[in-house]
Amino acid sequence: MLSLTRKMTKTGTGLRGAATLAAAASLTLALSGCTKLETTSPSTVRGAAGAQARAAGFGTVDCRQAKCIALTFDAGPSENSARLLDILKDKQVPATFFLLGKRHIDTYPELVRRMADEGHEVASHTWTHKILTDAEPDEIREELERPNKEIERLTGKRPTLMRPPQGRTDDTVHEICRELGLAEVLWSVTAKDYKTDDPDLITERVLDQSSRDGIILLHDIYDGTVPAVPGIIDALKERGYVFVTVPQLLAPGRAEPGEVYR
Q: Which residues are catalytic?
A: 74, 219
Local structure of 228: helix, strand or coil? helix
Start-to-end C-alpha separation, the chain: 26
**Phi, psi of 171, rounded to the nearest 5 degrees:** -60, -40
Quote the CA–CA distance of 70 and 217 in Å, as a whole number: 9
The runs of H, that is alpha helices, within 164-215 are: 171-180, 199-209
* β-pair type (161-162, 183-185): parallel
Using a 10 angstrom Cβ sphere, with 0-12 exposed, 13-18 middle and 19 or more buried, the burial of residue 195 is: middle
Find, among 203, 239, 231, 208, the residue nearest to 218 by Cα: 203
The number of angstroms, rounded, from the C-alpha of 185 to the middle of its chain's C-alpha atoms is: 6
Q: Are 187 and 123 in contact (CB under 8 A)?
A: no
Under 8 Å between Cβ of 168 and 11: yes
Q: Tell me the C-alpha distance between 171 and 9, whole Å.
A: 10
Q: What is the Cα–Cα distance from 86 to 146, expressed in whole angstroms? A: 28
Q: Which amino acid is at 214?
A: G
